[in-house]
Amino acid sequence: MNNVVVSLDIGSSKVSVVIAEINKKQFNVIGVGTSECKGVKKGVIVDIDATVEAIKTAVEMAEQMSNIKIKSAFVNIKGGYTTLIDNRGVIAVSREDKEITNEDVARVIQAAKVVALPPDKEIIDIIPQQYIVDGYDEIRDPVGMVGVRLEVDAKLVAASMTNVQNIIRTVQKAGLNVDGIVLEPLATSTIVLNDDERELGVALVDVGAETMDISVFRNKTLVFSKLIPVGGNHITSDISLICKITFSDAEKIKRQYGAASTKLVKSDDIIKISNVAGKGEKEIQVINVVEIMEARIQEMLYLIKSELEKNNLLNHLGAGIVITGGGLFNIKGIQDYAQDFFDIPVRFGYPNYIGVANPTYSASAGIAMYVLKQKKNSTIHVDSKKINRVLEENEESSSIDETEENKTNWIEKVKEFFADFF
């Protein structure tokens, strides 16, 4: 099997690993691993050793789930820590009959990469926006067309060499090679947005633990990216500080009782938690917690709206705003609250695939799908001696909650997966 991709999402609160493949044009998740990470602050690696341990733990979980030994992975970089540069590449079509081939497209994209950059920047990706054949523009795919001159308008993604090298070094210290660095908004949009949204104009807001990554797509291309250093952990910190409770207790309360508006809770509901000193209980009114949350959520939405208005983008979002990431997800009433605030359509997006159907996997699953669509792959190894045992274990476990027909289909898929290695 050579169409398997391993993606690695290094976030401020967690590291996620996804092993995926495209089999018969179907995107399948083979393995998933997640680990708490304390080595990243606001999307930047600040403690390599802590991040390395988190990567190793997540990789081990994914390997055990999939029975695949991971040797390399594609890694994300936040959109806000990159610069988008417009540039044009121009070449002469090489064939005598002047038919444009994939090789010509590769050459013109390479030509578009020629640009003067500051010494501390390097190009990590290129996003073709349109191809031009003998002066005719707005061409999406020129392969097969006839022409003498081929041009491409593209956005170059440039990133700090320091940031890139720290990512590579960290992954390598965890025992993996880096297949490539993927711009996170491009990856996330691949799995969260649909073609109509990217065409009409949409703002994708990825709310993590400590950051909000705002990306705007129009005419199916990325036109804007900005990082705001505020995320879901700030809501938890507010609750912890004002209610004088631990961060972990505040996180539990936020998840269990939290809401976007005080209109959604009763004024007399009480939460009882153990005192920090361990003696007795502390009573907290739910409405007070929600008041704290509403204030911070309103600030976060204001920062998003302000950034979109400042760049004259808010009035050009025909498909509205799509929010993903774990920072605001599962907060009661958040979608209606956000839609009233922005006064345009708002929805929450996440990968709709078994194993990663949660917004916390939007980036990691998105990286895998984005790379697979480019027909790239990662280096993996399967221990064939374990295959029969794995098949038997899967057969036994699948009988617990599946019908006989579904069980048979599932086992056949597993056998088909392993058969590709022989």
- Do residues 293 and 394 share a domain? no
DSSP bridge partners of 28: 21
CA torsion angle 97 99 100 102 (round to 10): -90
- Do residues 402 and 320 share a domain? no
- Do residues 409 and 341 share a domain? no
- Do residues 344 and 231 share a domain? yes
- Domain carrying residue 118: 81-162
Model confidence over 213-241: pLDDT tens digits?
Answer: 999 999 888 889 999 999 999 999 999 99
Give the end of a domain, one of 348, 374, 400: 348
Q: How many domains does the chain have?
A: 3
Model confidence over 361-372: pLDDT tens digits?
Answer: 999 999 999 999
- Do residues 158 and 258 share a domain? no
- Do residues 331 and 388 share a domain? no
With a CB cutoff of 8 Å and minimum separation 6, the contacts of 401 are none
With a CB cutoff of 8 Å and minimum separation 6, the contacts of 56 are 174, 175
The region of weakest confidence among 88-92, 255-259, 278-282, 387-391 is: 387-391
Model confidence over 162-217: pLDDT tens digits?
Answer: 889 999 999 999 999 999 999 999 999 999 999 999 999 999 999 999 999 999 99
Q: Are 50 and 37 in contact (CB under 8 A)?
A: yes
- Do residues 340 and 403 share a domain? no
Q: How confident is the model at residue 380 (pLDDT cuts 50, 70, 90)?
A: low
Token pair of 420 as six digits: 């590709």
Assigned domain for 326 exists: yes
Assigned domain for 190 exists: no
- Do residues 332 and 267 share a domain? yes
Assigned domain for 332 exists: yes
The whole model's pTM is what? 0.81
pLDDT at 413: 42
Assigned domain for 39 exists: no
CATH number at residue 145: 3.30.1490.110
- Do residues 303 and 405 share a domain? no
CATH number at residue 300: 3.30.420.40
- Do residues 234 and 336 share a domain? yes
* Of 257, 209, 200, residue with least CA distance to 233: 209
